């Protein structure tokens, strides 16, 4: 068999470990041919590819980013089924001209949606979930998330000492798109006093009361971890709005930190390397068994797979009954309501 691998959407630590997991299993265990497709789905449209060997897949396990390049190419997302713009024909033709038996699509929600469309027009596709946001539906966890939480937690740890020295409130905005997974996990691991998630919303009066209450109890500083997906009344960036609302409401000097892209840069954690390796290996196993149109996933501690059609268009978000939230509330952490 001959397979292609592509990465699409925002990059994230662990993509190269996945490429290696898919590719080395394919070459060494199943004797398949493997090519890399450059820059996401645009690489299939342009037939922009490279051949992989066992050797070219060495030394990339701990590398951040993606050796294949990536893009947020969405050109055929809506029109491909009717082939209004002829893209479906080009993709099918290129797939055949490259003699591919399957394409492994490594990516987040948008990628899995496109992967499902390609599967529906008759291509053999396997999806691998990838995102620091942990919001891909159908898998308990995606690689990149653990690394991002480690980076964000380390930053929150560092903000504690400066917050306490200056008796300030520190507002830290973390990534997560529309979901609050990074804010919840890094906030709890970093000992935050207030954690605000898009899924729960917030009442700024309650946030200010909690901060003032801490000050009255002899703790004149606070750490507030907020998700980038929070809504604000005036459309301002969450860190900006929450910081000024706290300073005005409490009279305590308040500073903001936006962690940004550091959260998805650099080397994957050991947990993410092993997760990516297992998901990648399972993707190749599905191909060898001709079980196409599926996304590999984690169910508890086990690697598994589900139909791409079940994943497409859904989002996995934090629910109010999350055990970390319940435990946080029992320890006096404020979740904004």
User: Min. distance of Cβ 88 from ligand F6P in angstroms?
Assistant: 25
Sign of CA dihedral 136, 138, 142, 148: positive
Q: Which helix (H) or strand (E) holds 44?
A: helix 42-45
Site string for ligand F6P, 65-104 (x = CB under 6 A): ----------------------------------------
Radius of gyration of the chain (CA): 22
Residue 62 or 262 with smaller CB distance to ligand F6P? 262
Q: Which of 108, 127, 198, 336 binds ligand F6P (CB under 6 A)?
A: 108
User: Min. distance of Cβ 173 from ligand F6P in angstroms?
Assistant: 11
Q: Which of 177, 185, 214, 282 binds ligand F6P (CB under 6 A)?
A: 177
End-to-end distance of the chain based on CA atoms, in angstroms?
55
Task: Report the distance separating Cα 4 and Cα 299, nearest Å.
Answer: 26
Stretch in the footprint of ligand F6P (CB under 6 A) among 84-92, 172-180, 188-196, 293-301:
172-180
Longest dimension (CA), the chain: 71
Nearest partner of 179 among 211, 227, 110, judged by Cα:
227
Cβ contacts of residue 38 below 8 Å, gap of 6+?
6, 48, 49, 50, 68, 69
Bridge partner list, 105: 6, 127
Site string for ligand F6P, 218-247 (x = CB under 6 A): ----------x-------------------
- Please indicate whether residue 133 is annotated as part of the active site: yes
Residue 73 or 285 with smaller CB distance to ligand F6P? 73
Which positions are annotated as active-site residues? 133
- Footprint on this chain of ligand F6P (rule: CB under 6 A): 10, 108, 131-133, 175-177, 228, 264
């Amino acid at each position: 068999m001959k397979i292609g691998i592509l990465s699409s959407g925002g990059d994230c630590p662990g993509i190269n470990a996945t490429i290696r997991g898919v590719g080395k299993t394919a070459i060494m265990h199943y004797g398949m041919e493997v090519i890399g497709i450059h820059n996401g789905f645009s690489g299939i449209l342009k037939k922009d590819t490279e051949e992989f060997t066992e050797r070219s897949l060495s030394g990339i396990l701990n590398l951040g980013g993606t050796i294949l390049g990536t893009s947020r190419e969405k050109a055929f997302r809506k029109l491909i089924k009717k082939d209004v713009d002829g893209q479906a024909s080009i993709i099918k033709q290129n797939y055949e001209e490259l003699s591919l038996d399957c394409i492994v699509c490594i990516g987040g929600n948008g990628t899995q949606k496109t992967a499902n469309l390609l599967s529906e027009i008759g291509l053999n596709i396997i999806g691998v979930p990838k995102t620091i946001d942990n919001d891909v539906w159908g898998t308990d966890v995606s690689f990149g998330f653990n690394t991002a939480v480690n980076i964000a937690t380390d930053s929150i740890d560092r903000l504690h000492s400066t917050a306490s020295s200056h008796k300030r409130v520190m507002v830290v905005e973390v990534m997560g798109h529309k979901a609050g997974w990074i804010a919840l996990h890094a906030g709890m691991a970093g000992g935050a006093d207030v954690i605000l998630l898009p899924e729960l919303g917030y009442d700024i009066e309650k946030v200010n009361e909690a901060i003032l209450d801490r000050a009255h109890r002899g703790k004149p500083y606070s750490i507030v971890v907020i998700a980038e997906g929070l809504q604000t009344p005036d459309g301002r960036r969450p860190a900006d709005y929450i910081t000024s609302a706290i300073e005005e409401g409490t009279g305590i000097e308040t500073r903001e930190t936006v962690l940004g892209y550091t959260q998805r840069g650099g080397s994957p954690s050991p947990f993410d390397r092993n997760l990516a390796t297992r998901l990648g290996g399972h993707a190749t196993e599905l191909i060898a068994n001709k079980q196409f149109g599926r996304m590999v996933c984690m169910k508890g501690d086990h690697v598994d797979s589900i139909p791409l059609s079940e994943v497409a268009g859904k989002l996995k978000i934090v629910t109010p009954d999350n055990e970390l939230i319940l435990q946080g509330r029992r320890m006096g952490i404020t979740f904004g309501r």
